[in-house]
Chains A and B, each alone.
Chain A
Amino acid sequence: MHLTDFPGREAEEKVMLVLHRHWFIFLKNIIILVLVAGAPLVVAWIWSHIRTWELAPNSLGYALVVSGGALFYLFLWILMYGYWLDYYLDFFIVTNKRVVDIEQSGLFGRTVAEERLYRIQDVTSDTQGIMATMLRYGNVYVQTAGKKERFIFEHVANPEDVARTILHLTDKIDDRMERPGDPSQFIAAAGQQQSSAPLSADQMHKN
């Protein structure tokens, strides 16, 4: 499945934006992991200058150090890949009809939330912090009238442009009056079938 081929995509639906979290968020986690990976090596190097120590190849200490170190670095490597997957498999899609928020949580959790554009009531964006301001990433908050009241697109690049794009798309939806159950559609349809009979009191009251 291609990233933009999300579940339930309609045939005439056009993908306008595909957003991942900003690369700096992923890099932050990697830097922390690299520091954790380097810490034992630094400690061993410092210790070797304080005291001389040797491990005989056939000793328990040698076996524990080598096998423990291998397991430790294998675990860190898997953790790094897990961070990558968390970054890569979390994305937000904005189409000409709806917004979709796909979140991967761990190995066995995946949440797909979507909302139609005509249900969007408000879109705001914010940028907090020095790095966020310098690298131009932040959050986009999409307030909806649906079951999930608020979509949060976290740490996306150029959040103001994203918010503006979503608002522009919702304006186009409003202009085309595509909301089902919109009273104006019924009024227009009723006007085409207008009979010569006068309106009843109830009809006049409703108008």
Chain B
Amino acid sequence: MQTTVSQTSPPEKSILYDPKVRGAFYQVLLVLIVGYLFYMAASNAVENLQRAKIASGFGFLNNTAGFDISQTLISFSAAGSTYGDAFIVGLLNTLLVSAIGIVLATFLGFTVGIARLSKNWMVAKVAMVYVELLRNIPLLLQLLFWYIAVLGPLPQPRDSIGMGAGFFLNSRGLFMPRPLYASDAWVMGAALVIGIVGTIIFRTWAKKQQESTGRQYPLGLVTIGLVLGLPILAWLALAVVGANPISFEMPQKGTFNLRGGMQILPEFVALLVGLVTYTAAFIAEVVRAGILAVSKGQTEAAGSLGLRPGQTLRLVVVPQAMRVIIPPLTSQYLNLTKNSSLAVAIGYPDLVQVFMGTVLNQTGQAIEVVVITMGVYLTISLVTSFVMNIYNRRVAIVER
């Protein structure tokens, strides 16, 4: 008797049916198709631009601009500056309004958010009305409101409102004295630096003291004293010896407008106020949500340890709330930066207004200009996110 044991090895599976191979195949295929489409689009665009005799390439950035811009943080003139300089001017103006806007919106947002949770009925309701009103009206309308309805009716330059101490307000903006630094002003600068360094050292020392002994020091007073007091002392000292380190150039009445001094454009103010009040409404809600996410037991525990309500908020509730607040807060920062491009509606020379408006039109190089502008907003947003993510990691719950 012979039994044939048929050794049936598992059937040879075709490579076609290997899920891994198939998966890889389709992914590679997709990448190739997408890559090919991009390539086709780019080469077609280049070819057609050439056929239509439309200039292309990034060489235009070195051409003379030939136009002026109302607010420039770097020196800019129609004759001596290039489109590349105009790009930088626009970028800096965008960064300026975004940076100041983010700081102010954070302060205002936290204040309103905390106020909404106040036990004082009046304060809570005012905060609620603020939030509901501001976040439910389109930002563009708010900007136009600030620009046309609030700043528009300000008096003409010849009837400027004097606010004392060389401050004037009119329809061309806010005018203020410009500080002129004499050669010996460095003493005051040095005093300021010493003050700041001193504050940091003092704070570190005070923290250690408190951790080891429990004793608390008046941090706020000392900080103000060092940062503000030292330079003022330096100034007084210089004044005593007869030197005059800082003088002020006052705005004077000119033919059309005030001359000299510093000027803040109404376009800037309208954009800044609009962005800050609008974004603060959203930040307030984020903050409120964050605080409510901290369990009530924490507040009670803090109270039983003898912390006052202010301290409870500052030392116990807000630090824990930050974990919930940071991620959505980052989104609000990004929104504020991107929304600053609405400047175009009220004539503030931000990146979009200067670069996508004037430069695009004068050069006609739409594709290049749009690509650069998109790249800039993408970069700003990614950098902001990156920084906020680092901060988020620091405040996140440490699992033990």
Q: Do A and B come from one complex?
A: no
> Footprint of B on A, CB under 8 Å?
none
B residues lining the A interface (CB < 8 Å): none
